[in-house]
A and B are shown apart, each in its own frame.
Chain A
Amino acid sequence: MFKHIFNYQFKTLVRSKEMWFWSLIFPLVLATFFNLAFSNMSSGTSFSSVNIAVVNNEEFQQENHFKELIEQLSQDNDDKIFNVKYIDEKEAQDLLKNNEISGYIIVQDNINLVFKNVGFNQTIVKSVVDSYYQTMSVMKNVYKHNPEAIKDGVLELLGEKHNFLKDTSNNDVDVMVSYFYALIAMVCLYGANFSVFMVSQSEANLSKKGARTSVAPTHKFKVIAASLLIALIIHYLEVLLLLAYLTFVLGINFGNQIIPILILTFFGCIAGSTLGIIVSYTNRKKEEVKIAITMSIIMFLSFLSGLMIFNIKYLVAQHVPILGYINPATMISDALYSLYYYETYEQFIFNVVSLIIFSVIMIIISYMFMRRKKYDSI
């Protein structure tokens, strides 16, 4: 019986043109457009230094390491990132107002950045300052717990500044890869559409096919389990096709982390499926309306994870961090990011476990609705 349902649900899915379009064709087209856009961007910019101003106040003069860093980054060599003007705050405001600089840095209690708008140049300035903070924080920690180690460490860190600056100047790559991470996250969540499709045709109060299935002498869970299993398998295969396309056709480098990526996307697909299950069970609209609701939710979650605007992800992390922890799209894109940039698996494992917890919660809530055998109305 399970095999019978499994086989026929396989046929219904592979013959559903809408499913193929949304879960495979659309992402492939989107990936191709991303690739075209980013390759134009990188060739078009081939990196020209960013015009900024630094407010030359007493606090800045006292922030020696930062001052040294800015000077280093504005030296006329291959690593030059900034064209810096050291001026007072009023002048900086005027230059910003006239669009002569991308932003200015003012050191008061902290290092503050002032921008008129958000864009590629501003992201570079922010990344430099963030990286500086990160480095200083590490140094302070090491000094506090192991002062001996810092003797040479400070010098080493400063000595490695050249590499550090090089990494910073590579932020255009960060942005590009991050968009693809968000895209992969979105496609994983597209599994929700498969679930909506499958659940709708298994429940009597959701469709006439569901009613016909419910009057048959077959346990409802068997029908739903077989349907969701084949949906998950097909969807996962589509995600693998997308990964292959990104890697082999578009030449996107995801690092040498194929097994963790396969694990991550598998759990991402499960999270997507469970999202669809809960949408199916928590409202009684038509299947088309449910698909529209699901798509809206996925697009919103993907937006928050930086699919449309890269900086949104950081704004969310800064102002509403809880959203990042409950958003499966962010969990997937963060895990991919951590695989590429970090040498440890801590962040990756945290994100995978978060995805599993998210899926379990979705299933528990759905089960409350799923176990209903008779309906108040159909």
Chain B
Amino acid sequence: MKNVIEVKKITKKYGEFKALDNLQFNVEEGEIVGLLGPNGSGKSTSINCMLSLLKFDKGSIKIFDKEMTPESYETKSKIGVIFQDVAVFEELKVYENIDYFCGLYIKDKHVREEYVEEAIKLVGLNEFKNHLPKQLSGGLLRRLNIACGIAHKPSLIFLDEPTVAVDPQSRNNILEGIKKLNKSGATIIYTTHYMEEVEQLCDRILIIDKGKIIANGTKEELKGIIDIAEKVTVEFEELEKDYIDKIKKQRNVLDIDSKNNTFKISYKKGKNNLVNLINFLSDEKIKYNKIYSELPTLNDVFLELTGKELRD
């Protein structure tokens, strides 16, 4: 696969503050790459630099094998952008908004008509074509925002937190739409701080913190780089003081996080951790209400790599 985006050692400073610090990564054709990080980690800044909207201090960015500049009109014609904030004209109807932005890319009126209709269908706004943005709900407005960014059928799409403040139904609709776009051949860069979305959607995940890529891989690969392999949650009927010490001595136990009557026990790689724990509790006649096991999440990855949670 050839690289669609090549970001090489980008540094962007605001005064003394480094928003991007030697940021480096590639995106291959046809991938959905998730840029995951907490608020202020540099996700939007990196997108704005890639789009040549923001100046950066060091490094280089190539898109479709060409240096990206504000005059790269040929490259720009293949790119679609969905910004974090809704960017539509309040005075124009749904159809007109999509047609206006599509018209900045596609000159042929007939082709544009066809593209606009397809975009409306993709985001499910058929019934709202003649509505003004103020007549739409938050979720529908987000869908319009997406349609405005992708109507011209770009082969590279940047989505900057498109599901912020969106209801679950609209969120699913948006994620389904993104999958469809990818299936039709578009490469997608998706920034978010919702790890569930990234896990559901992305082929590859870049975890970004303080302007640096701290991990890069598939979700399985990322989960493989941390020590935690399994997390078991136990809710005790009654909690005795020595439970923690007793459980800590068990095989593969890394850490215990206790809250009220509930323990969250982190295990390193090993077999039968849950079975071993149940046997131990039974032998010790310790009563519990429920017990279950989970695989580590990307938040665990982030927590182990940075010492903080994704939504801090």
* B residues near A8, Cβ cutoff 8 Å: 89, 92, 96, 99-100, 103
| A interface footprint on B58-99 (CB within 8 Å = 1, 0 otherwise) | 000000000000110110110101010111110110001001
- Interchain CB contact under 8 A, B76 and A216: yes
Residue in A12, A216, A375 whose beta carbon sits within 8 Å of that of B101 in the complex: A216
Contact B149–A212 (Cβ < 8 Å): yes
How far apart are the CA atoms of A154 and B54 in the complex, in Å?
Answer: 74
Instruction: Knowing A11-B91, A15-B91, A16-B91, say if A216 contacts B105 (CB, 8 Å).
Output: yes
Once A and B bind, how many residue pairs between them come within 8 Å at the CB atom? 87
User: Given that A216-B105, A217-B105, A218-B104 are known contacts, is A11 also in contact with B53, CB under 8 Å in the complex?
Assistant: no
Q: A1-B104, A11-B96, A212-B148 are in contact. Are A375 and B53 (CB under 8 A)?
A: yes
Instruction: Determine if A214 and B53 form an interchain contact, defined as CB atoms under 8 angstroms apart.
Output: yes
Whether B51 contacts A215 by the Cβ 8 Å rule is: yes
Contact B89 A217 (CB under 8 A): no
The reply to whether the CB of A151 lies closer than 8 angstroms to some CB of chain B is no
Whether B48 contacts A378 by the Cβ 8 Å rule is: yes
Known contacts A11-B92, A217-B77, A377-B14; is A212 also within 8 Å of B87 by CB?
A: yes
Interface residues on A, range: 20 to 34
A5 partner residues in chain B, CB cutoff 8 A = 103-104
Complexed CA–CA distance, A11 and B48 (Å): 29
Please determine whether A374 and B96 come into contact, CB atoms closer than 8 angstroms.
no
Min C-beta distance of B179 to chain A, whole Å: 23
Q: Are B87 and A374 in contact (CB under 8 A)?
A: no
- Cα-based distance from A373 to B73 in the complex (angstroms): 13
Question: Is B259 located at the chain interface by the 8 A CB criterion?
Answer: no
Inter-chain contact B53/A213, CB cutoff 8 Å: no
- Among residues of B, the one whose C-beta sits closest to the C-beta of A208 is B87
Interface residues of A in 341-378 (CB under 8 A from B): 373-378
- Cross-chain contact A12 with B92 (CB below 8 angstroms): yes
Say yes or no: A374-B148 contact (C-beta < 8 A), given A12-B89, A216-B104.
no
Residues of B within 8 A of A211 (CB): 48, 53, 81, 83, 87
Instruction: Let me know if B52 is at the binding interface, CB within 8 A.
Output: yes
Does chain A have a CB within 8 A of B271? no
Within 8 A of B (CB), among A196-238: 201, 204, 207-209, 211-219, 223
Does A4 belong to the interface (CB within 8 Å)? Answer: yes
Q: A223 — which chain B residues lie within 8 A by C-beta?
A: 104
Residue of A at shortest CB range from B56? Answer: A374
Taking CB atoms, residues of chain B closer than 8 Å to A216 are 76, 101, 104-105
Give the docked Cα–Cα distance between A8 and B98 (Å): 11
Is the pair B87, A217 in contact by a Cβ cutoff of 8 Å? no
Residues in A whose Cβ lies below 8 Å from that of B183: none
Known A12-B89, A15-B91, A373-B70; judge A4-B81 contact (CB<8 A).
Answer: no
CB-based contact B55/A376 at 8 Å = yes
Q: How far is the CB of B11 from chain A (nearest CB, A)?
A: 14
Interface flag for B2 (CB, 8 Å): no
Q: Would you list which residues of chain A between 1 and 51 have a CB under 8 Å from chain B? A: 1, 4-5, 8, 11-13, 15-16
Q: Given the complex, which residues of B lie within 8 Å of A12, measured CB to CB?
A: 89, 91-92
Task: Knowing A8-B92, A216-B101 are in contact, say whether A374-B81 is a contact too (CB < 8 A).
Answer: no
What residues on A are CB-neighbors of B99 within 8 Å?
8
Q: Is there a chain A Cβ closer than 8 Å to B290's Cβ?
A: no
Instruction: Tell whether, in the assembled complex, residue A204 and residue B53 are in contact, meaning their CB atoms are under 8 Å apart.
Output: yes
The answer to whether B85 and A208 have CB atoms under 8 Å apart is: yes
Nearest Cβ distance between residue B182 and chain A, in whole angstroms? 20
Is B81 a contact partner of A215 (Cβ separation < 8 A)? yes
Knowing A11-B92, A212-B81, A377-B14, say if A207 contacts B73 (CB, 8 Å): no
A16–B76 alpha-carbon span in the complex (Å): 30
A217-B74 contact given A212-B83, A212-B87, CB 8 Å threshold: yes
Q: Is B110 an interface residue (CB 8 A)?
A: no
Contacts of A208 in B (CB 8 A): 83, 85-87
A212 and B96 contact, Cβ closer than 8 Å, known pairs A204-B53, A217-B77, A378-B48:
no
- CB neighbors of A among B96-126 (8 A): 96, 99-101, 103-105, 107
Q: Which of B54, B83, B101, B149 is the one whose CB lies under 8 Å from A374?
A: B54
A1 x B88 contact (CB < 8 A): no
The CA of A4 and the CA of B71, in the complex, are separated in Å by 21
- Compute how far the CA of A11 lies from the CA of B55 in the bound complex, rounded to whole angstroms: 34
Report chain A residues within 8 Å CB of B70. 214, 373-374
Residues of A within 8 A of B (CB): 1, 4-5, 8, 11-13, 15-16, 201, 204, 207-209, 211-219, 223, 373-378
A-B contact pairs, 22 of them (CB 8 A): A4-B103, A4-B107, A5-B103, A8-B92, A8-B100, A12-B91, A204-B53, A211-B48, A211-B53, A211-B81, A211-B83, A211-B87, A212-B87, A214-B70, A217-B73, A218-B104, A374-B52, A374-B53, A374-B70, A375-B55, A377-B54, A378-B53
9 more contacts with CB within 8 A, not counting A8-B103, A212-B83, A378-B54, are: A1-B104, A4-B103, A8-B100, A11-B92, A15-B91, A213-B104, A216-B101, A374-B55, A378-B48
B interface residue numbers (CB < 8 A to A): 14, 48, 51-55, 70-71, 73-74, 76-77, 79, 81, 83, 85-89, 91-92, 96, 99-101, 103-105, 107, 148-149
